[in-house]
Amino acid sequence: MVTFNDAVAEFFGVEEFSPLVEFAVALVGAVIVGSIILTIVGVSAVWFKRKLNARLGDRIAVNRVGPAGLFIMPADALKLLSKEVVVPEGVDRASYLLAPILAAAAVIAAFAFIPFGSGLQVADPETGLIFALAFASLGAIPIVMAGYSSKNKYSFLGFEREVAQAIAYEIPLVVSALAIVPLVAYFGDTDTPLRMSEIVAAQQGPLLGIEGLPVPNWFLFAQPIAAALFFVAILAEFSRNPFDLPEAGSELVAGYLTEYGGVNFVLLFLAEFAAIFFGGALFTALFLGGGSGPFLPAAVWFLIKMFAFYVVVQWLRATVPRVRIDQLLSLGWKYMLELTFLNLLLTAGVLWVVL
Amino acid sequence: MSVVTRRHEEIQEKIENELPDAILDIEEHQNAPAIVANPSRVDDVVRVLKENGYNHLSSVSAVEYENRYESVYHLRRITDDREDFDEINVVAHADRDEPAVQTVSNVFKGANWHEREAYDLMGVRYDDHPDMRRILLPETWNGHPLREEYDVDQPQYTTLEAHANPIEERYEVDEDESALDTMFINIGPHHPATHGVLHLKTVLDGEVVVDVEPDIGYLHRCEEYLCERLNYKYQIMPYPDRWDYISAGMINEMSYARCIEELADIDVPEYAQVIRTLAQELSRIASHMLAVGTFALDLYGELNVIFMYAFKDREIVQEILEDLSGQRLMFNYLRLGGVSYDLPEPREEWFEKIRDFTEELPEKMKEYRTLLEGNELLMKRAEGTGILEPEVAKEYGCTGPILRGSGVGYDVREVDPYSYYDELDWDVVTKDGCDNLSRVQVRLGEVEQSARIVEQCVDILEDWDGEQEIQSRVPRSVSPPAGTENYTAVEGAKGELGIHIVSDGTEQPHRLKIRSPCFSNLSAFSELAEGEYLADMIATLGSLDLVFGEVDR
């Protein structure tokens, strides 16, 4: 509905910006979104993750550096950034060095389409959902580059797994997301149901449009099967437990990350964690009503929901073991694919009957 | 005893009938009679023994004498009937200058590694052995270190060429098409899931393991060599702690103590026997806890609850053992003829500590079972993977929870009792699953059984009203008669931990061979892993519960 540029224009009472100003304002918006994301990722990847996992596993984790170990964040950052960039012999240099940058760039750019609410959305194209899903899939390419260029057999196995996994879960991811589009068109009464802001707008109001129902019309409640399938698909797409096969600590050392260190490692690591938050943002926008919620501003609610998603992902990490590659693929091709299409047909059928 | 000797006579007759020229002589070893076999027919003799029920080859050890080398085979009967247990030894003499004996690896597959070790350390060649290479030492090593003539100061020069590309010569890819689809990958020696320094030369077809060959010896510390140069009475005892260094030290010490006490005819007071039993079972609990925890660690690849809980419970046991012996891991607690200290004072407090642990244990075991068996994804990974059929397990000489996880109830504590086990009430745990899950379940069950034994020992010690004698009178110099030898085993945390001592009448053993359970269990690894997925191979490795201090010694 309102992108960052619209919100700024409204604030200044201007009808339309000149193209140059438009670009400058958009840049400011992008910097704001980017900083928020990087801050959250920084805090959660280095400190919060360790604390949370430790609590789940009956441990204490960092507690020596600063209060509650908080200063581990600058300490870790300093350590990693001050390391020598070691490029192993025989790697495909261009691809090896480009992969981390591409990985981080792709996933942070993807946040442009996320409707944080409170006017915090950098871009809101008509095909926003498709763009967002495309960016979600883009994350596999830097992993392939990193794994293939590293000239390491563990990296090689890691990226092979990533390819198999990404292909198997691409279709379920997209199709399960598509199942909500007819609902957006129906509840939001719009011609552009793929627009991210429209998707969020359609989820306001009571469940299924029934007046007086205390439950909001979040698609988590209106489309629970799609929500569950989307959740599983997003875990697999971003290689989170129990689908973290490309990295597979105990089997492949560190998978595609094996040969990376210092800054390059930081970038890949950052991309990995930003991807979880991107998954959380997608899930929030598609199924948790975006920024809807009482009292607090929409953007804050959005970030809370996004963070809750992250907590759930970390919780899974502590409780379920990794599946095997054949189990992963058979789940993807034999169950997820069929179920997502069935759900889409069911949705269409129900709407056809109702209308 | 009479039953056993009759059986020995029968088997001797049988062999003499079937193989007229195979038996040269009958010797008497401390543990059982030894058939001196014709070195070129030794495989036939062992085959006849195997056909007649001696279905477990414990160990092969090579011994050097002034005028000859000997290759000694220790065979055992494993059946469901406890009374049926029996041992027999086979000895093959080999020439002094060019020692060579016929291999038995075509009878028992497990002999393969044992014979390679004998060749490596003592230089006895085994004819027709499929793979007569060194196993513990580098392939470029000069000399055989356990020989009398071996000069330890001799520098080991290795030319650069010999190590230029070690992989190239070790694994040659066939030029046919099937080889082009596979990938050779070195897993280890440094890898998160190898639990130490194991090198797995693996050939993968996609994600499926086509071929895997464990390469060991990275942690070889010459334990046998060291023991052969130390005195029986005090000097050897600290070394067993370093074999299986992960908290099973008490059992290791018992394995040495049992062998030499039988050989030198040393009595152990009953009071000390109970303490020994108590200490061993506590060690077993600590070791099994770690095994369960690390198995979960291999499946998750993350620090998880199962591992942390197991480690915490192990810590309690470790503290109890620390109170007892004054040390956390390297206990050095047992002595010939008893133990080194009496129970810690105040005794009531210490007993209370153990009681608290055993009383809380059932609740904890329930939680472990829920965590393992209640987790569907974990069950999917652990069930039906790493299959080890009982026949294959016996063929390779697998023992301990590995064998019992395949449904064979062989437990040295039961069939060949030592310490105080015979007086106590406990069960052998077996599972028929033959897979990774059943091996872990056996360990969980054994923790419960060990706790039962511990409780009974505490009861006995609490009500003890006799003399609290912790050591019998042991002569100042322990020197078994020259020419005697003995092979005994105890049930280690990982399986049958055997010691073979050959005495030459001095205060130091002429030969001390360690039969490590992990060594034999690992030799079956390729059977378990081939055809499995890479991820399951790692899980299987975890379920074998290997400690490399014991594999490599």
On the question of pLDDT at B373 being above 80, the answer is yes
Between chains, do B533 and A157 touch, taking CB under 8 Å as contact? Answer: no
* Domain containing residue A57: 4-354
Q: Considering only the beta carbons, identify the residue of B302, B309, B312 that sits closest to A318.
A: B302
On the question of pLDDT at A293 being above 50, the answer is yes
Quote the strand ranges of B188-226, DSSP E: 199-205, 208-215
Q: Considering only the beta carbons, identify the residue of B207, B299, B312 that sits closest to A322.
A: B299
On the question of pLDDT at B167 being above 60, the answer is no
Interface test with B, best of A324, A325, A331 (most B CBs within 10 A): A324
B178-184 contacts at long range (C-beta below 8 A, 24 or more positions apart):
B181/B205, B181/B206, B182/B210, B183/A153, B183/A156
Between chains, do A253 and B301 touch, taking CB under 8 Å as contact? Answer: no
Predicted confidence at residue B285, as pLDDT, reads 92
Q: Considering only the beta carbons, identify the residue of A59, A154, A248 that sits closest to B301.
A: A248
Q: In which residue are the tokens 């290689």 written?
A: A239
* Coil, strand or helix at B267: coil
Which of residues B445 and A199 earns the better pLDDT score? B445
- Residue B166: pLDDT band (50, 70, 90) is low
Predicted confidence at residue B1, as pLDDT, reads 43
Dihedral of CA atoms B310, B312, B316, B321 in degrees, nearest 10, equals 70
Instruction: For B250-286, give one letter per residue: b (16+ CB within 10 A) or e.
Output: bbbbbbbbbbbbbbbebebbebbbbbbbbbbbbbbbb
**What is d(CA B226, CA B236) in angstroms, rounded to the nearest whole number?**
8
Instruction: For B353-364, give one letter per residue: b (16+ CB within 10 A) or e.
Output: ebeebbeebeeb
Predicted confidence at residue A116, as pLDDT, reads 82
**Average pLDDT of B261-278?**
89
Which tens digits make up the pLDDT trace of B18-33?
A: 777 777 777 888 888 8
Instruction: For B508-542, give one letter per residue: b (16+ CB within 10 A) or e.
Output: bbbbbbbbbbbbbbbbbbbbbbeebbbbbbbbbbb
Interchain CB contact of A251 with B (< 8 Å) = yes
Closest of B421, B415, B249 to residue B326, by C-alpha: B249
Phi first, then psi: what are they for B256, rounded to 5°?
-70, -45
Which tens digits make up the pLDDT trace of A133-144?
A: 888 888 888 888
Predicted confidence at residue A127, as pLDDT, reads 85
Interface test with A, best of B201, B297, B299, B302 (most A CBs within 10 A): B302
Q: What is the CA radius of gyration of chain A?
A: 21
Which tens digits make up the pLDDT trace of B296-333?
A: 888 887 777 888 888 888 999 999 999 988 888 888 88
Predicted confidence at residue B174, as pLDDT, reads 59
**Average pLDDT of B234-254?**
87
**Average pLDDT of B505-517?**
89
**What is this structure's pTM?**
0.84
Please report which helix (H) or strand (E) contains residue B101, including its range: strand B100-102
Which token pair is B532?
A: 């499995």
What residues of chain B lie within 8 A of the CB of A57, using their CB? 303-305, 307-308
Between chains, do B298 and A250 touch, taking CB under 8 Å as contact? Answer: yes
- Residue B180: pLDDT band (50, 70, 90) is low
Q: Considering only the beta carbons, identify the residue of B185, B312, B381 that sits closest to A321.
A: B381
**What is d(CA A73, CA A46) in angstroms, rounded to the nearest whole number?**
6
Task: Name B35's bridge partners.
Answer: B26, B90
Interchain CB contact of A164 with B (< 8 Å) = no
Q: Determine the residue of chain A that is closest to B294 in CA distance.
A: A250
Which token pair is A61?
A: 């984790």
Please report which helix (H) or strand (E) contains residue B69, including its range: strand B68-76
A242 vs chain B: nearest CA distance in angstroms?
A: 9
Interchain CB contact of A170 with B (< 8 Å) = no
Predicted confidence at residue A261, as pLDDT, reads 82
Q: Determine the residue of chain B that is closest to A55 in CA distance.
A: B305
On the question of pLDDT at B2 being above 50, the answer is no
The total number of structural domains in chain A stands at 1
Alpha-carbon distances of B184 from B50, B102, B523, B537, rounded to whole Å: 37, 33, 20, 15
Q: What is the CA radius of gyration of chain B?
A: 23
Phi first, then psi: what are they for B382, rounded to 5°?
-90, -25
Predicted confidence at residue B442, as pLDDT, reads 92
On the question of pLDDT at A160 being above 80, the answer is yes
Interchain CB contact of A168 with B (< 8 Å) = no
Which tens digits make up the pLDDT trace of B464-475?
A: 887 888 888 888
Task: Name B64's bridge partners.
Answer: B69
Q: In which residue are the tokens 């010690």 written?
A: B461
Beta-carbon contacts of residue A197 (< 8 Å; ≥ 6 apart): A1, A2, A3, A115, A121, A124, A128
Between chains, do A324 and B535 touch, taking CB under 8 Å as contact? Answer: yes
Return the number of other C-beta atoms located less than 10 Å from residue B30's C-beta: 18
Interchain CB contact of A335 with B (< 8 Å) = no
Average confidence score pLDDT of chain B:
85
Between chains, do A249 and B309 touch, taking CB under 8 Å as contact? Answer: no
Average confidence score pLDDT of chain A:
84
For chains A and B, what is the number of CB pairs under 8 angstroms? 84
Q: Determine the residue of chain B that is closest to A248 in CA distance.
A: B301
Q: Considering only the beta carbons, identify the residue of B301, B377, B533 that sits closest to A326.
A: B533
Contact A273, A281 (CB under 8 A): no
Which tens digits make up the pLDDT trace of A26-74?
A: 888 888 888 888 888 888 877 888 888 888 878 888 888 888 888 888 8
Lowest mean pLDDT segment, chosen from A9-18, B149-158, B363-372, B395-404: A9-18
On the question of pLDDT at B255 being above 70, the answer is yes
